[in-house]
Amino acid sequence: MARRRIIAGNWKMNMTPSQAVELCATLKDLVKNDDVDVVYCVPAIDIVPVAEAIKGTNVKLGAENFYIEDKGAFTGEISAPMLKDAGVEYIIIGHSERRDIFGENDILINAKVKKAFAAGLKPILCCGESLALRKAGTYKEWIARQIKWDLTDVTADQVKELVIAYEPIWAIGTGETATADQAQEVCKMIRDVIAEMYDAPTAEAVRIQYGGSMNAGNAAELLSKDDIDGGLIGGAALKPDFGKIVNA
Ligand SMILES: O=C[C@H](O)COP(=O)(O)O
């Protein structure tokens, strides 16, 4: 089965609202491609202006974070219904920066995945190992465990709509990309875990991205691999190079 490719930019904590609108204008013609899902996952304050700036283009809107309750006394948080109402389609969950800097654990991440689906948002679920785990050789067990925890009680029909991003932490923002073979090995292993947890059609349907210093120079080789269906791009998503990745 041919899976539709998905190239998503994770802007992280970059771009003021006015810079965000300018970036959308810069990228507009560069990211035109009807064969690929192109997504901008933007900081909360940029969601409304970016929703306006991408109207009439092929770009879809994503967010970087939310909280699992619909509303109430949760100072500083935004909810899934707020994101939906603003036009958000995709939501990044379980990014290593949220896990490591903000202490999000697999129980919360699993609750977020379930809440996102219930609210009609499509999760981009991130997983990946530290350099220490890579060196110890136990990275595959670690990632399989993350996936199993984070997808507890998530149905096969939901997983068919899920995007999983494999992001080795040692490759994020370091300029050190996993080789295409290293990335393929883990993306294939993730698909095997999904087949084991669900079934072969579900594993065939789930889209798996690679993320970690993906750029205009290495995207084509990474994306040529059988189990890599797209990219989750940080630094290079803020530059015209993002258009080259979309079209790689
Ligand atoms: O979510 C994106 C990743 O953390 C990759 O970031 P990067 O492309 O800057 O390495």
Cβ proximity of 17 and 9 under 8 Å:
no
Pairing of β 207-210 and β 163-166 = parallel
Distance between CA atoms of 169 and 212, rounded to whole angstroms? 7
This model's pTM is above 0.90: yes
Determine the structural domain holding residue 32 and report its residue range: 5-246
ipTM of the shown complex: 0.98
* C-beta of 168 in contact with ligand 1 (< 6 A): no
User: What's the whole-number mean pLDDT along residues 114-128?
Assistant: 98
**What is the whole-number distance in angstroms between the Cα of residue 187 and the centre of ligand 1?**
16
Q: How confident is the model at residue 1 (pLDDT cuts 50, 70, 90)?
A: low
Query: What is the DSSP code (8-state) at residue 224?
Result: T
Number of domains in the chain: 1
User: What's the whole-number mean pLDDT along residues 218-232?
Assistant: 97
On the question of pLDDT at 176 being above 90, the answer is: no
Distance between CA atoms of 140 and 74, rounded to whole angstroms? 36
CATH classification of the domain holding 175: 3.20.20.70
Q: Is 12 annotated as a binding residue?
A: yes
**95 catalytically annotated:** yes
Q: Burial level of 197, CB count in 10 A (0-12/13-18/19+)? A: middle
Q: Is 10 annotated as a binding residue?
A: yes
**97 catalytically annotated:** no
pLDDT, tens digit (0-9, with 9 covering 90-100), for 35-53: 999 999 999 999 999 999 9
